[in-house]
Chains A and B, each alone.
Chain A
Amino acid sequence: MNETDPYAGERLKKSPFYLRQEVLNIRNAWAAWNGYKFAEYYYDTEYEYFCVRNTCGTYDICPMQKYEIQGRDAEVMLNRMVTRDVTKIGLNRVAYCVWCTDDGRMIDDGTIFKLASDKFMLTCGSPCTAWLEKSAFGFADVTVTDVTDEIAALSLQGPTSCAVLKKMGLDGIDTAKPFDIMHFPFHGDTLMVSRTGFSGDLGYELWISPTVALDLWDQLYDAGENFGIQPYGEAATNMTRLEAAFIMPFMEFNEALRTVNFEHDQTPFELNLGWLVDFDKPHFSGRRALLEEQKRGPKYTLTKLDIEGNKPAEGSYIYKDKRCTREIGYVTSAMWSPSVKANIALAMIKTEHLEGELWAEIYYEKELRQYNRVVRCTRKQKPFWAPARARATPPPDF
């Protein structure tokens, strides 16, 4: 078919799970991510969101970029690239990392899986081959391989997720601590399970060869039948990650390598990710600039806001006063949180003004007419959603 399809070259790729997703995407709500056809939602965004908070849902992370970094120098190379100390990552452990330009501006964030002393997997939202190869330059024994298409991955998030994996027969999965990796034999292949995710709740990510991807899906959905399993798409993901106060590229940060205007990208300190920057380790990209920034303090600080009223503060400016005379920041993501029952937002606010009053000017539409309100914002220190079960080992069944 493809040989005769004159549009084959520009059609979206299909995930190894596509055959099952297609059946369940009742609304035909497709979007795209890294060249893959990707569900915006399957049935109903609100429903899917609540599955993640109430039962469990699966989110296709096949389009997420995956790189295998292998060789005697793999660890040093990664340690030179990311801001966190890679030598501290234990075997079969995962670490959340960011990497920056020499100016300390953030290129992307992602996770590093330590699979052997000389073998790592790095995952990230956007393709990163060029930067990885650049970072590997000069190291004698390290190879970088893009394995995005060789690994099918599915994120299973929500309070019943552990119960589903137990039901599926993954004995001992309940002993996995957050950021642990476990391996299980599966259809002649190996299923890798990491206790990671992007929902702020209890959850796991499943990694498998594409050849048995559909078997994994079927077995997972069979096991999950009585535990409220449901696929969810981009829309629900964005809701849950905001409640967990996780950052999203091109929402909270503009990838440094794709930024045109001066300082329209961000530093880890601005994004509240200073804890990921380890100055005690050897030199890494951006070290000098970040050290300076640490001394000086970031210009902006990503701030969690609880906002009066119930109208999402999407695209709002933040002001120092109710009369909106002094603009001090902007909202990056905003929503009404159905679980927290609060009007929440992440905002970049000029650090010097953090301690004072914060006001958001919110625009909203009502039957084609525009209205606006200026409402008070309160800073929150903790993520909006952080249930105890997300950290508990063994986790509860629901």
Chain B
Amino acid sequence: MSNYDAIVIGAGHNGLTNAAYLAKAGLNVVVLEKNEYIGGAAVSRELHEGWKYSNCSYVCSMMRQALHRDLDLGRHGLLLVPYLGTINFGDGDERLFSYHDEQAAHLELKRHSPHDADAMHRFQSDLTRYSQLIRKTLLRTPPDPTSLRPRDIMEFLYLAKQFWKLGEKEIYEYVRFFTMSAADFLDDYFENDLIKAAMASPGIIGTALGVYSPGSSYILLHHVMGDVDGSIGAWGLARGGMGAISAALAGAAQEHGAEIRTNAGVQQVLVKNGKAVGVVLENGDEVYARIVVSNLDAKRTFTRIMEKNDLPDGIYEKARNFKIRGSSGKVNIALSGMPKFSGVPENRYINRGGQGFTGSMETMERAYDCWKRGRWSDDPFVESVIPSAWDPTVAPPGQHWMSNFVQYCPPELADGPWTPEKRDQFGQTVIDKIERYSPGFSDLIVHMEVRTPHEIEQEIGLTEGNIFQGELTIDQLFFNRPFPGYGQYRMPVRNLYMCGSSTHPGGGVSSACGANAAREILIDLRRPNTVPEDDFYDE
């Protein structure tokens, strides 16, 4: 039996962040991880010799700069490298290149639609305005709307002030925006279908919504509000893969004295007299602590590692009904060479960006229809990146690995459970899609890892394989995340906290959930705060 100040369940990036900040404040912290490796969904694993896949999450943009800086993650080996533009492939021969350079980007849009090339300025300004407001909330604890505590009232006043600064017209627009579909939102700006499809694609990534579903415009924003070094909307790759982020966070946590145990799955949270007092591990060991922090998703926390009887009335039901639908698959492919894509010039830069096998608005919506019927998409939306084109550490020189994120793939199939055969068929659909745009692609394949929501749940522990630990719809956002009344990281059982993406501000490798939770814990334990707020004091 061992005694700690805090137990963090799950060594995903938020759990590690939480542990780092608690340890930094002087607490004796242990992180318990069920897998033999740390990182949760921010991992780099060598499944084929010489290749290091970022098995789950694959690009990074939301990592809070203030945390990166404060925890000195650079010294712990983290380098985030922004990557240049993306190629979006239309259903036919259309190709849309997005360039980093402003002039080049404008000329390219103009080639498709002079109207849209101009409209892009207004679109970007509006998105930036929306992003700026949300970004201000990321490293802050949402206020409780029913509370009269000074802190909640002050926080509301802060938000009201930020909101008010938008001006009357924009306030209306903003409220409207939150409930719109990505398609409706984009119709306000653009006429060209491929441009719309390319812009809409962030609106469906990781979510069980389609481009025409209300709420998808927020998902779109959630994906573009990040930045790399202040360039909002830019995406970066972690040198060494996403596991480098977890490794750096673990390094920071350990430097401050936190202990990380792998192969230490938690079976149950121990509750005595209404207070969390520790956990029982799968091997039967008991670990005790003053507080317990769960980095697991809300559904898993309350329905899998807690006794229903230990919970106040209604919580179990809330957790069971928590919207956490799996919708995405991931196909990681080791390649013997760089794939060539039809209709793409041999431009050494554009070929190194991402590939969006977007098709059209209709193709994306039809892909969603399949999901609704319990099938994987026949013609899926695939978002790909070839990290090895940038990162010399993840594949042998001259050879590559391609990360393919696939939308949609259901956690349960209509025709019975997932089997290895069905998983491989799903993988083949993705290869077929890429092959359509890159004849000869299959011949380059050296090794492949196919992950359906089923594998993601089994390996990572994300319920239904939902990458956000719960849908990012307005009913589950901000002070409603994970449940109304529990938006401040304190859970219904005393001394139990949550620090994962099921809490504000939600999914993405941001470290914000873990840091915010640490701040609240330190307040409760009457310790000085060690968690910074965002340091972009003006944008």
Residues of A at the B interface (CB closer than 8 Å) are 27, 43-44, 46-47, 50, 53-55, 159-160, 163, 167, 225-228, 308-311, 336, 338-342, 364, 366, 371, 373, 397-398
Contact = CB atoms under 8 A, between A and B. Distances in A.
Given A159-B392, A163-B397, A50 B68 contact: no
A341 B65 contact: yes
B393 A398 contact: yes
B247 to A, nearest CB: 16
B115 interface: no
Interface string B16-45: 000000000000000000000000000000
B46 interface: no
A342 B392 CA distance: 24
A341 B68 contact: yes
Contacts of B230: 310, 336
B449 to A, nearest CB: 23
25 contacts: A43-B101, A44-B101, A47-B82, A47-B84, A47-B349, A53-B79, A53-B81, A54-B391, A54-B392, A55-B390, A163-B397, A228-B390, A228-B392, A309-B535, A309-B536, A310-B230, A311-B538, A336-B230, A339-B79, A341-B65, A341-B73, A341-B74, A366-B538, A397-B392, A398-B393
B113 to A, nearest CB: 24
- 9 cross-chain pairs, A with B, having the tightest CB-CB distances, nearest first: A226-B397, A226-B398, A398-B392, A341-B69, A338-B229, A341-B68, A50-B81, A54-B81, A160-B392
Nearest to B75: A340
A371 B538 contact: yes
A392 to B, nearest CB: 15
A336 B229 contact: yes
Contacts of B397: 163, 167, 226-227
Contacts of B80: 338
Nearest to A167: B397
Give the residue among B81, B393, B537 with the most A Cβ atoms within 10 A: B81
A311 to B, nearest CB: 7
B100 interface: yes
Interface string B34-60: 000000000000000000000000000
A256 B312 CA distance: 77
Contacts of A311: 537-538
Contacts of B68: 341
B219 to A, nearest CB: 27
Contact of A46 (B65, B82, B349, B393): B82
Contacts of B228: 338
Contacts of B537: 309-311, 373
A50 B82 contact: yes
A276 to B, nearest CB: 28
A311 B229 CA distance: 11
A225 B65 CA distance: 32
Given A43-B349, A46-B82, A226-B397, A308 B535 contact: yes
B392 A44 contact: no
A28 to B, nearest CB: 11
Contacts of B231: 46
A144 to B, nearest CB: 42
B13 interface: no
A375 to B, nearest CB: 8
Nearest to A397: B392
B67 to A, nearest CB: 9
Contacts of B536: 309-310
B239 interface: yes
Nearest to B63: A341
Nearest to B79: A339
A44 B84 contact: yes
Contacts of B539: 366
A398 B231 CA distance: 27
Contacts of A50: 81-82
Given A50-B82, A163-B397, A228-B390, 20 more contacts: A27-B101, A43-B101, A44-B349, A46-B82, A47-B100, A50-B81, A53-B79, A54-B79, A54-B81, A167-B397, A308-B535, A310-B535, A336-B230, A338-B82, A339-B74, A340-B74, A364-B538, A366-B538, A373-B538, A398-B392
Nearest to A160: B392
Contacts of B393: 398
Contacts of A225: 398
A226 B101 CA distance: 24
Contacts of B392: 54-55, 159-160, 163, 227-228, 397-398
Interface string B505-539: 00000000000000000000000000000011111
Give the residue among B68, B229, B390, B392 with the most A Cβ atoms within 10 A: B392
A50 B390 CA distance: 10
A308 B79 CA distance: 20
Contacts of A310: 65, 230, 535-537
Contacts of A228: 390, 392
Interface string B485-501: 00000000000000000
Contacts of B398: 225-226
A387 B239 CA distance: 14
A340 B539 CA distance: 20
A340 B390 CA distance: 19
Contacts of A46: 82, 100, 229, 231
Interface string B379-420: 000000000001111000110000000000000000000000
Contacts of B391: 54
B230 to A, nearest CB: 6
Nearest to B536: A310
Nearest to B349: A43
Contacts of B229: 46, 336, 338
A367 B228 CA distance: 20
A54 B74 contact: no
Contacts of B101: 27, 43-44
Nearest to B69: A341
A339 B81 CA distance: 8
Contacts of A54: 79, 81, 239, 390-392
Give the residue among A225, A309, A338 with the most B Cβ atoms within 10 A: A338
A398 B393 CA distance: 7
B251 to A, nearest CB: 15
Nearest to A384: B74
Contacts of A371: 538
Contacts of B73: 341
A342 B532 CA distance: 14
A398 to B, nearest CB: 4
Contacts of B65: 310, 341
A331 B454 CA distance: 56
A23 B337 CA distance: 25
B97 to A, nearest CB: 14
B171 to A, nearest CB: 20
Nearest to B539: A366
A46 B65 CA distance: 17
A342 B538 contact: no
B78 to A, nearest CB: 9
